[in-house]
Amino acid sequence: MKFREVCPKRSLDVVERTNYRDYRDSLRADFNNRCGYCNDLDEPRKEYFEIDHLVPQKIMVNKKKNDYQNLVYTCHSCNNAKRKKWPSGDENIPIVGEEGWIDPCSEEYDKQFSRDDNGNIIPLTPIGKWMYNNLKLYKPQHNILWNIEQLDMICQDFAEKLAGNPNELVIKDKLLECLLEYRNFSKRLFTALDSDCQTLRAT
d(Cα 186, Cα 180) in Å, to the nearest integer?
10
β-pair partners for 71? 53
Q: Is the pLDDT of residue 70 over 60?
A: yes
Amino acid at 33: N
Rounded mean pLDDT, 16-44: 95
Q: Is the pLDDT of residue 77 over 80?
A: yes
Q: Which residue has the higher pLDDT, 62 or 158?
A: 62
CA 95 to chain centre: 21
d(Cα 103, Cα 199) in Å, to the nearest integer?
28
pLDDT at site 165: 78
Q: Is the pLDDT of residue 199 over 60?
A: no
Q: What is the mean pLDDT of the chain?
A: 91
H/E run at residue 195: helix 169-202
pLDDT at site 155: 87
pLDDT in tens, 31-50: 999 999 999 999 867 778 99
d(Cα 46, Cα 29) in Å, to the nearest integer?
12
b/e per residue, 60-75, with b = 16+ CB within 10 A? eeebeebebebbbbbb
d(Cα 201, Cα 203) in Å, to the nearest integer?
6
Rounded mean pLDDT, 5-16: 96
pLDDT at site 57: 96
SS (H, E, C) 121-154: EEECCHHHHHHHHHHCCCCHHHHHHHHHHHHHHH
- CA terminus-to-terminus distance, the chain: 35
pLDDT in tens, 150-195: 998 888 888 888 888 777 888 888 888 888 888 888 888 878 776 6
- DSSP 8-state symbol, 38: T
Q: Is the pLDDT of residue 87 over 60?
A: yes
Q: Which residue has the higher pLDDT, 159 or 70?
A: 70
Model pTM greater than 0.85?
Answer: yes
- Please give the angle made by the CA atoms of 41, 142 and 122, to the nearest 5 degrees: 120
pLDDT band per the 50, 70, 90 thresholds, residue 19? very high
d(Cα 73, Cα 53) in Å, to the nearest integer?
9
Q: Is the pLDDT of residue 200 over 70?
A: no
